[in-house]
Structure 1
Amino acid sequence: MTTLIKLEIVRALRNKKFMFFSVIYPPVLYLIIAGGADSKPIPGMKLDMGLYFMVSMAAFGAMTAVLLGNSERIAKEREKGWVRQLRLTALPGRGYVAAKMAAAATVSLPSILLVLIVAAVVKGVRLEPWQWIAIAVGTWLGSFVFAALGYLATGDAVRPISMLCYFGLAFLGGLWMPLTILPQWVQNIAEWLPTHAYAALGTAVEAGGAPHLKDVAILAGYLLVFTAGAAGLYRKDTHKA
């Protein structure tokens, strides 16, 4: 399993096109969205737009790396029979999922750090040292939740399904705009989505507190469901002729 994890990490780092869009795209998007943002507090929150979008774009960038890149790579491997070949090595489903998550996490970390650096240097965001560390670590660890989602589609369906999950979860989770300015029914739905809980890890730290236990529990629940589903589909694929 360790060998496969190393192989997946090397493959991810060698994909220069994917690395460019996964690492450079989020901080550029942050500057575009937060470029005209003022320092006025967001209604219903203790944060201003610059702080809010720093966390949301770091989360969005990590999601880009772990969801879009992983999904197409996994779909191609399933179609070409690579999964069945791996089964000959007695690799368990959890090993395959762990390798994919490790590769995705390798790409997501630089993206997260770059957004934080741009926020500090260009936008003048100032936080305590422990807050910077907590936001970076929390956003990185939270990205693992989305890494297994790429196993849910195959073939031509993988791109539209991935994009639907990608943009749908991003919008409803409040990554594009603060949920407090959206209708109440949207807020009620978002409260139970993984993207909302994911971004809430960082916004809670920015406000000077610790992540809420409810958000941590929601992410942990989704992580168990997604990884169990991916491992189950892996085992199902290996039994196909």
Structure 2
Amino acid sequence: MSSLIRLELIRALRNRKFLFFSVIYPSVLFLLIAGNADSTTKVDGSGLTVPAYMMVSMASFGALTAVLMGNSERIAKEREGGWVRQLRLTTLPGRGYVLAKTAGAAVVSLPSVVIVFVVAAAVKDVRLHTWQWFALTGSVWAGSLVFAALGVALGYLATGDAVRPITMITYFGLSILGGLWIPATTFPGWLQSLAKWLPTHAYAALGQAIEQSRAPHTADLAVLVVSFVVFAGGAAWLYRKDTLKA
């Protein structure tokens, strides 16, 4: 299993296009969105400045990109290419394959989170306590496991040709409706009510709670836990179903 994990890490780090969109793109998008805002302009209803609010949103977006986009399409293509079937002939357990995929995506997601934080602190003068920086990094990185499970599920749900549009719709839908690109507090009332049930909204809310030095809302934690159980359970069921077909 360790050999497969190393292979996945090497493949992820060699994919320059994937690295750009998962590591560099979120920082660029942060500068574009927060570019004209100063350190005193606040997001209505959040109590946070625009740079601080969007820093967490874009760090979450970067981690989401790495684990969701990285897993789904690659798994679908490996299924069609016979690579997964070959691995099943070895002693590698099924959970080992999923773990290797998650580890490869997690390694890429961490730099994307850290780079957004560095850019926000250096360019937009975002200032937090040391413990907040560490807590933010840990929560955003750990929270990405929810979407890693979703990426695995999508990889087993669709074929190589169909997985990209399905993943893109899911990816942009969760990002936009969850308030990662535009603060959810600016949405109409009915859309704000919908956003609160999305895991991306709860995901970013954890980081925003750390920025405000308060405990996260129980509802946000519940949404993330339930989402992870649903996504991981779906991934496990689809994996077993795919195994029976092989």
Shorter-normalised TM range:
over 0.9
C-alpha deviations, 1:56-102, integer Å up to 9, x for none? 00011111111112221111101112212121124333222221111
Q: Which residue of 1 is the match for residue 200 of structure 2?
A: 195
- Superposition misfits of 4+ residues, deviation over 6 angstroms: none
Question: Whole-Å Cα distance in 1 between the matches of residues 114 and 34 of structure 2?
Answer: 17
Match of 1:29 in 2: 29
The residue aligned with 2:117 is 116
Tell me which amino acid in the other structure corresponds to 2:195: A
**Structure 1 letter corresponding to 2:32:** I
The aligned residue for residue 73 of structure 1 is: 74
Q: 1:226 aligns with which of 200, 221, 231?
A: 231
Q: CA deviation at 1:221?
A: 1.8
Once residues 42 and 186 of structure 1 are traced to their aligned partners in structure 2, the CA distance between those partners, rounded to angstroms, is: 17
What is the correspondence of 1:1-241 to structure 2 with a 5 Å cutoff?
1-38=1-38, 39-150=40-151, 151=155, 152-241=157-246
RMSD over aligned Cα, in angstroms? 1.5
Partner of 2:104, secondary structure, is helix
CA distance in 2, matches of 1:26, 1:105: 16
Q: Is the 8 A contact 1:41 1:47 kept in 2?
A: yes
CA distance in structure 2 between the aligned counterparts of 1:41 and 1:75, rounded to whole angstroms: 42
Contact in 2 for aligned 1:96/1:231 (Cα 8 Å):
no
AA in 1 matched with 2:76: A
Question: Cα offset for 1:199?
Answer: 0.4
Task: Report how many aligned residue pairs link the two structures.
Answer: 241
Q: Residue 17 of structure 1: CA displacement?
A: 2.3
Q: 2: CA distance between counterparts of 1:13 and 1:222?
A: 28
Query: Contact conserved, 1:5 with 1:103, CA < 8 A, in 2?
Result: yes
Taking the aligned partners of 1:223 and 1:35, their CA distance within structure 2 comes to 34
Unmatched 5+ residue regions in structure 2? Answer: none
Larger CA deviation: 144-153 vs 198-207: 144-153
Give a deviation string over 1:187-219, Cα, whole Å, max 9, x none. 111111110110001101111113223222221
* Superposition TM-score, scaled by structure 2 size: 0.93
Work out the CA distance in 2 between the residues paired with 1:91 and 1:190. 39
Determine helix, strand or coil for the equivalent of 2:80: helix
Q: Which amino acid aligns with 2:174?
A: L
**2:28, 2:67 → 1: CA distance?**
18
